[in-house]
Structure 1
Amino acid sequence: MRAEVLSWCRREALFSPGAQVVCAVSGGADSMAMLCCLRELAAELSVYVRAAHFNHRLRGAESDGDEAFVRAFCAAEGIELVCGAPEKPARSEEEAREQRYAFLDSIPCDAVAIAHTAEDNLETLLQHLLRGSGLRGLGGIPPRRGRYVRPLLAVSHAQAREYLRARGTGWREDATNAEDSCQRNRLRHGVLPLLAAEMPELPLRVTELTALVRADDALLDREAERLLLPAPEPLFSDPCVLRRVRLAPLREAPEPLQRRALRCLLREALPQDAALVHIRALQALLENPAPAARADLPGRLTVRRSYDALELVRGTPPVFRPVPLAQTVHFPALGLRAVCTLAEKNEKIQNTPFTFALKYDKMVGRIPIFRPRKTGDTLTLPDGRCVTLKKLFLDRRLPQPIRDRVPVLEVDGQVIAVAGFGADPRWTARDGEQAVILRIEKEEM
């Protein structure tokens, strides 16, 4: 086994020279074999090996016995050990897993070694098949995920036990492994023996197969990512938008690559790969002829079709409520602010879509209010035309969710300026006139 583990670690580049490695040790045969083997290979791999044990406290005296066994072994072998336990026992297998990984995450090191073997990889592959998996699921257990590494994927349970017997090292047996209460155990007891009878070397063959699948999957992901081109930013950005990509490349792509690109897009925001039903919902958005549409996904995630862009959105922006003009007014729903000052003497007057030089004499004594748009709002443009805000927003292809957040400046019921579109010329000052300067700008982070 020692040669197989060394070859696998080097082939997969699991450890950098000088790495501090923590072995997650339950006391079972696989984790004990991993700890002993990595200790023997420490010099050849140029790593320093420690151990960590997490007592889930789910099996009473047996759990405490596992911890005592690991403590005694590490003390006898001179292995540095850190132990942990939950404040409250987990109520489910998933919660127990989260507790265990939270403990391992808290340990300072370069790599955490997990004792998954070739059979574990095969069981995982079968579970993914039963759930209904794409190519990523058929890649099985990866040798590395972040700082978590799996040095035993190229060896079997039998090899691990034979290795321990040869060196005279014992291990603990978890009685729950004999139960058929979970799917993995049912596969282990009922399906794997039948497969082993047909092909004893199947687990090791599957390890090689899943490595090829992962390589193919990674290549296809890179190709799919090329479809996720940044879309031009609209007039106003939305703080809730995580990513905004062009619609056309996705719509024109072959369907298999299109599905994969959409899965890559969602992977940024979902803890696990999106289900096929969600991918199909996004494909429907691509083909929807309406300029605006949406699909709601788990985790408060929304994907929006906005004209020629697809937007990945999480959360709801603050409601924009009317607010009187002040020296500084904040618009968190757009990540903007309005800064109000008096024009300096001889200051050149400039009016732009986001800077308004308003006549001081018309502003004094009045209470201008920033508010969202209202039905029927109009703005007089520099050329004298009076246009509804609805038409202005449509002509500029302003995304639907943004329209009710655009700051509209009102005085005595009259719209005198709209952020991003300019001010009514009847209210704007000229050079030499006393003016109130109002600048709409990005909020400083």
Structure 2
Amino acid sequence: MMTDIDYRKGAWKMDYLVEKVNEYMQEHHMAQAGEKIVVGVSGGADSLGLLTILSELAGYFHYDLVVVHVNHGLRGKAADQDQSFVEKTCKDQSIPCYSFHVDLKRFARKEGMSEEEAGRYYRYQCFEKVRREVDGDKIAVAHQREDVCETILFNMFRGTGIKGLTGIPPVRDVIIRPLLCVSRAEIENYLQRKGLTWRTDETNLTDAYTRNKIRHNILPYVEEHINPSAGQHIQEMAGLMRDISLYLDRQAEAAFDQCVSVGKNLVCAIHGESFKKLDVVIQREVLRRSIGVVAGKLKDVDREHVEMIRKLLDKHVGRRCHLPYQIQAVRTYEGITIKKDTMNEQQLDKVICMDVAAPGIYGIPGTSAEVELFVKENFKNEEIPVNRYTKWFDYDKIENSLSIRTRENGDFITLDGQGHKKLLKRWMIDEKIPREEREQILLLADGPHVLWIMGHRISDNYKVTAATKRVLVARIKGEKSDGRQYQSVIAGGRSGCPDTRTG
């Protein structure tokens, strides 16, 4: 197979836009030669451009393409024509096509979402369903540069933190977005050079949705009257904010380890003295992580809720505040405890021990929490998650059957790469974990060897290295998967993608 150097020397000629997208894909390690890519295609210019560009690159890098089209049932005959257009396009190019149909209005009512949210959620469920069925490696979607700008402005106008200013990531789990480096005009010009036509969704031409108002009115005004490069500058800012956000994540992770203990019922106990020493920015991130552990999601948790908890440290013991998802934060002698309002306190002494295997989702007795386990083999270009809820382990180093349980006599953990071990009891004492909390902490264990002290650290013995061939992914989930995020689809969240497809 020809390399990137080959085409630069003129071994073969590539359209300049295809070359631009290819370089962007290489920069962000989106796909390897020979991988199978599931492509979301609506029939519009962006998605048709994505399919056409990937089809060209497939000739050079041997990508195996599969198309997924979702008919939302909102536009009657026009939507059916979109579906026929996509299916014919794929047939002409001998590309497998899977079409899904949904009554989106009914689906949105059932799930308690807006139609916009429900459409996105349903689409990603369908993408993932097909990816798993065809043993695909990646899911490619057609977001482009203006989508980044619209997302950032939309988040700014409704209120957001740093993460809301990071825009749309080029890669997230198996999802790739090769067109983020190009504009809508560039895509349309490319299709015209190729002599291709595309479908137009009339709803995108109206101002019925907030994003359309930003797309049709705000961005064009800014680029015409303030700075024609405004869109490019917004995208560059998003990249900088993404770097800052990743740095804050690492700092918050270390701070969480330092001052938060997590019980088996996902009760977060924040130790006041160490928490007060943190910079206020890191304090807020630690509190958001704590809420996320207890609730399993962070949607609808805003700055006001975080500040309510911070102010508890200045209140008397026993004062509390109530948060979304039936959560409460209580001022204690040691600091602050965040837990479910409805928790049965008698459950805290309940012993847990259950054998588990991957893949699988395991409910924790007496709680609303679940732990999901699954194995990844294609992970070399992915970054190990830096968060409290998901951990990676070298699957082939596991010697016994796995269990999720509370502590037992003889449990130990490996502390470093030299193999130094410490009894779990001694580790808990050294970490100053209160005696009453030690029996509540959940463990993922390989016999007496503890892989993960949930809410705390993992064993060095099971860390992923360059030699790792298979990764065990362990993920804590809350009471109800957040259907508005793609992560819940990977995690096997709510169903809602009926087998109504062709292809």
- Name the TM-score, length of structure 1 as normaliser: 0.67
* In structure 2, C-alpha distance between the alignment counterparts of 1:137 and 1:232, rounded to whole Å: 25
Deviation string, structure 1 residues 12-62 (Cα, Å, up to 9, x no partner): 112244432111110000000001101211254553221110000110001
* In structure 2, C-alpha distance between the alignment counterparts of 1:168 and 1:333, rounded to whole Å: 67
RMSD across aligned C-alpha pairs, in angstroms? 2.7
Partner of 1:226: 254
Partner of 2:276: 251
Partner of 1:47: 63
Partner of 2:285: 260
* 1:239 Cα deviation after fit: 4.1
- Which residue identity is paired with 1:313? K
8 Å contact kept, 1:221–1:261: no
Higher RCO by CA contacts (8 Å cutoff, separation 6 or greater): 2
CA pair 224-319 structure 1, distance change in 2 beyond 3 A: closer
318, 325, 340: which one aligns with 1:314: 340
Query: By percentage of residues, which structure has more helix?
Result: 2
* 1:229 Cα deviation after fit: 2.6
* 1:195 Cα deviation after fit: 1.7
- Which residue identity is paired with 2:323? L
* In structure 1, C-alpha distance between the alignment counterparts of 2:25 and 2:239, rounded to whole Å: 14
* 1:301 Cα deviation after fit: 2.8
Partner of 2:320: 294
Partner of 1:102: 125
CA pair 315-148 structure 1, distance change in 2 beyond 3 A: farther
* 1:177 Cα deviation after fit: 0.8
Partner of 1:27: 43
* 1:267 Cα deviation after fit: 3.7
Q: Does 1:60 align with 2:76?
A: yes
Structure possessing the higher radius of gyration over alpha carbons:
1
Q: Does 1:190 align with 2:217?
A: yes
Q: Does 1:146 align with 2:173?
A: yes
* In structure 2, C-alpha distance between the alignment counterparts of 1:38 and 1:294, rounded to whole Å: 54
Partner of 1:131: 158
- Which residue identity is paired with 1:152? L
Deviation string, structure 1 residues 364-394 (Cα, Å, up to 9, x no partner): xxxxxxxxxxxxxxxxxxxxxxxxxxxxxxx
* In structure 2, C-alpha distance between the alignment counterparts of 1:266 and 1:126, rounded to whole Å: 26
Structure 2, gaps ≥5 residues long: 1-16, 109-114, 353-433, 441-503
* Residue-pair matches, total: 328
Partner of 1:111: 138
SS at match of 1:49: strand
Residues 396-407 of structure 1: matches in 2 within 5 Å? Answer: none
* In structure 1, C-alpha distance between the alignment counterparts of 2:60 and 2:338, rounded to whole Å: 47
Partner of 1:8: 24
8 Å contact kept, 1:156–1:203: no
* In structure 1, C-alpha distance between the alignment counterparts of 2:188 and 2:279, rounded to whole Å: 49
Q: Does 1:334 align with 2:355?
A: no
SS at match of 2:328: strand
Partner of 2:231: 203
8 Å contact kept, 1:155–1:204: no
SS at match of 1:22: strand
SS at match of 1:152: helix
- Name the TM-score, length of structure 2 as normaliser: 0.60
SS at match of 2:38: strand
Q: Judge which range, 40-49 or 25-34, deviates more.
A: 40-49
Partner of 1:82: 98
Deviation string, structure 1 residues 159-194 (Cα, Å, up to 9, x no partner): 010111111121100001111111111111111111
8 Å contact kept, 1:247–1:286: yes
* In structure 2, C-alpha distance between the alignment counterparts of 1:9 and 1:55, rounded to whole Å: 28
Structure 1, gaps ≥5 residues long: 321-331, 338-395, 403-445
* In structure 1, C-alpha distance between the alignment counterparts of 2:64 and 2:267, rounded to whole Å: 40
Identity, in percent, stands at 30
CA pair 228-273 structure 1, distance change in 2 beyond 3 A: farther
Deviation string, structure 1 residues 300-352 (Cα, Å, up to 9, x no partner): 233344332544423634475xxxxxxxxxxx452149xxxxxxxxxxxxxxx
SS at match of 2:139: strand
* In structure 1, C-alpha distance between the alignment counterparts of 2:219 and 2:204, rounded to whole Å: 14
Structure 1 stretches of 4+ with a deviation exceeding 6 A read 396-399
CA pair 69-2 structure 1, distance change in 2 beyond 3 A: same
